[in-house]
């Protein structure tokens, strides 16, 4: 089975420095509270659980071996021993930040902890918002100390969905990822979430060694070095995580595991593009909720627009989706009596965010040759349009108004009718 080879790769993995990610080691002799802490940490995109320990006596060695950014000490099992452990931890790893937690609000214990070197004292039961605020303070302090700052916190996630099959949502997802990767400051991963019939690997003419099923099956054992080794890297710079090879492997991808995979990818890349299926399954909906922007791809025909209305009505009832859906009209301007853009706006009840022009000949060529638009036809109008879409999603603005006007000239080629 292919998972045997993947396990071999697991054993060969090693640690590495993770930019923009806080690596944390935790110690808590209480199994219940330790598991709760782990579950809270898994909800944060910028935190990596480097190590866990169930004995105070072993924690200094764990810290020495892993050199984490944060050492988290749960104090309730033995508060006085935990106070000493704070001092011992900082002696062994002076560059680590120590956070502690306790059910006690005794002022003397808090004072002793701070004097020993703890930066934050958190009250149990631990609340995600309290831990998140503490981690943000730690990160700000670390950023200030290094004199550097990232241009954007975290990872931007774009989910691409289709109003029906055949509207070109996969084409847009693949070429959007390539457009994002064209910026050398970006690191981009494309996830093919059409787990049964996805074809992102065909668009990029790649033969992946590992798939989403492999990653999901082994997600609890992954570190970021292994994760990157598991992805297929295209010449465009896009890292691809394709759908499973075998249909029976689809069952290995559960919502919990997919959520963990997405979280792990977000710690390692600046941009994540997810090509969803048209079934709007539980996996698809999880990806849509995890996204910063959802691109709803449609064409200007009645069946597509009717589906857009139905989908938007459902999404508007979901707080996690209501404000993030952006309608993208694909193959705009094709012959054959399309519904007018004005009528489409009136039908769906909102503005169209983007229009991708029709270029059937070029798209057939890139699909049959397994080459993205940027490599096959970099000067084509459709290529420029998707590049501008990527810029718009990232909030980039062209300082040269004339150049911007020229680059978007295609918008006036077709009347609204």
Question: What pLDDT shows up at residue 153?
Answer: 56
Q: Residue 212 domain-assigned?
A: yes
How do residues 364-402 score in pLDDT, each as one tens digit?
Answer: 999 899 999 999 999 999 999 999 999 999 998 654 434
Is residue 133 located within the same domain as residue 168? no
Is residue 72 located within the same domain as residue 187? no
Is residue 142 located within the same domain as residue 102? yes
For tokens 């010449």, what's the residue? 235
Q: Residue 417 domain-assigned?
A: no
- Mean pLDDT along residues 66-91: 94
Percentage of residues of the chain with pLDDT beyond 70 = 85
Question: What pLDDT shows up at residue 150?
Answer: 40
Cβ contact 179:386 at 8 Å: yes
Which of 128, 146, 164 is the last residue in one of the domains?
Answer: 146
Confidence of residue 20 (pLDDT cuts 50, 70, 90): low
Beta bridge partners of 70: 24, 97
Ranges 14-23, 122-131, 198-207: which has the least confidence = 14-23
- Quick check: bond before 183 cis, omega within 30? no
Is residue 168 located within the same domain as residue 140? no
**How many folded domains does the chain comprise?**
2
Give me the domain span that covers residue 73. Answer: 16-146
Question: What pLDDT shows up at residue 56?
Answer: 96
How do residues 235-261 score in pLDDT, each as one tens digit?
Answer: 999 999 999 999 999 999 999 889 888
Phi-psi group of 349: left, alpha or beta (phi > 0 → left; psi -120 to 50 → alpha; rest → beta):
left
State pTM to two decimals.
0.69
Q: Which helix (H) or strand (E) holds 227?
A: helix 224-230
Confidence of residue 27 (pLDDT cuts 50, 70, 90): very high
For tokens 């100390």, what's the residue? 145
Between strands 232-233 and 239-241, the pairing is antiparallel
Question: What pLDDT shows up at residue 406?
Answer: 37
Whether the pLDDT of residue 112 is over 70: the answer is: yes
Please give the distance of CA 193 from its chain centroid, rounded to a whole number: 13
How do residues 258-272 score in pLDDT, each as one tens digit?
Answer: 988 888 888 778 999
Q: Residue 39 domain-assigned?
A: yes
Which of 96, 120, 146 is the last residue in one of the domains?
Answer: 146
Beta-carbon-side half-sphere exposure of residue 94 (alpha carbons within 13 Å): 1
Question: What pLDDT shows up at residue 413?
Answer: 39
Which of 146, 168, 183 is the last residue in one of the domains?
Answer: 146
How do residues 336-367 score in pLDDT, each as one tens digit?
Answer: 668 999 999 999 999 999 999 999 899 999 98
Please give the distance of CA 331 from its chain centroid, rounded to a whole number: 28
Question: What pLDDT shows up at residue 50?
Answer: 86
Q: Which SS3 state, helix, strand or coil, does residue 24 take?
A: strand
- Mean pLDDT along residues 111-124: 92
Beta-carbon-side half-sphere exposure of residue 303 (alpha carbons within 13 Å): 5
Q: How far is CA 241 from CA 164, 204, 255, in A?
A: 23, 12, 16
């Amino acid at each position: 089975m292919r998972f045997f080879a993947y396990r071999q790769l697991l054993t060969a993995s090693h640690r590495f420095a993770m930019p923009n990610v806080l690596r944390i080691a935790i110690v808590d002799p209480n199994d219940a509270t330790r598991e709760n802490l782990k579950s809270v940490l898994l909800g944060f995109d910028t935190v990596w659980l480097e190590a866990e320990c169930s004995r105070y006596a072993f924690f200094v060695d764990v810290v020495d071996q892993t050199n984490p950014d944060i050492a988290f000490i749960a104090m309730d099992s033995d508060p006085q021993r935990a106070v000493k452990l704070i001092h011992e931890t900082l002696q062994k790893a002076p560059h680590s930040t120590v956070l502690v937690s306790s059910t006690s609000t005794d002022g003397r214990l808090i004072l002793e902890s701070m004097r020993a070197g703890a930066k934050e004292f958190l009250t149990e039961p631990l609340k995600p918002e309290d831990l998140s605020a503490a981690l943000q303070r730690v990160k700000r302090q670390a950023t200030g100390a290094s004199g550097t700052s990232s241009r954007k916190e975290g990872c931007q996630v774009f989910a691409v969905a289709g109003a029906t099959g055949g509207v070109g949502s996969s084409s847009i997802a693949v070429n959007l990822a390539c457009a994002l990767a064209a910026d050398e400051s970006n690191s981009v991963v494309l996830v093919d979430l059409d787990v049964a019939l996805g074809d992102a690997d065909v668009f990029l003419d790649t033969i992946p060694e590992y798939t989403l099923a492999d990653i999901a099956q082994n997600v609890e054992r992954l570190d970021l070095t292994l994760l990157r080794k598991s992805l297929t890297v295209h010449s465009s710079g896009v890292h691809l995580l394709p759908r499973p090879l075998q249909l029976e492997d689809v069952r290995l991808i559960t919502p919990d595991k997919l959520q963990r995979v997405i979280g792990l990818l977000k710690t390692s890349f600046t941009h994540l593009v997810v090509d969803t299926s048209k079934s709007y399954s539980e996996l698809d909906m999880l990806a849509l909720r995890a996204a910063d922007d959802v691109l709803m791809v449609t064409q200007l025909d009645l069946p597509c627009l009717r589906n857009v209305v139905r989908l938007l009505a459902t999404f508007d009832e979901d707080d996690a989706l209501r404000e993030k859906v952006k309608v993208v009209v694909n193959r705009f301007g094709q012959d054959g009596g399309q519904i007018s853009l004005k009528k489409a706006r009136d039908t769906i009840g909102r503005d169209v965010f983007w229009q991708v022009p029709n270029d059937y000949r070029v798209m057939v060529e890139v699909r049959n040759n397994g080459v993205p638009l940027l490599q096959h036809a970099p000067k084509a109008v459709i290529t420029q349009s998707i590049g501008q879409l990527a810029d718009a999603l990232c909030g980039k603005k062209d300082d040269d108004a004339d150049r911007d006007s020229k680059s978007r000239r295609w918008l006036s080629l077709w009347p609204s009718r």
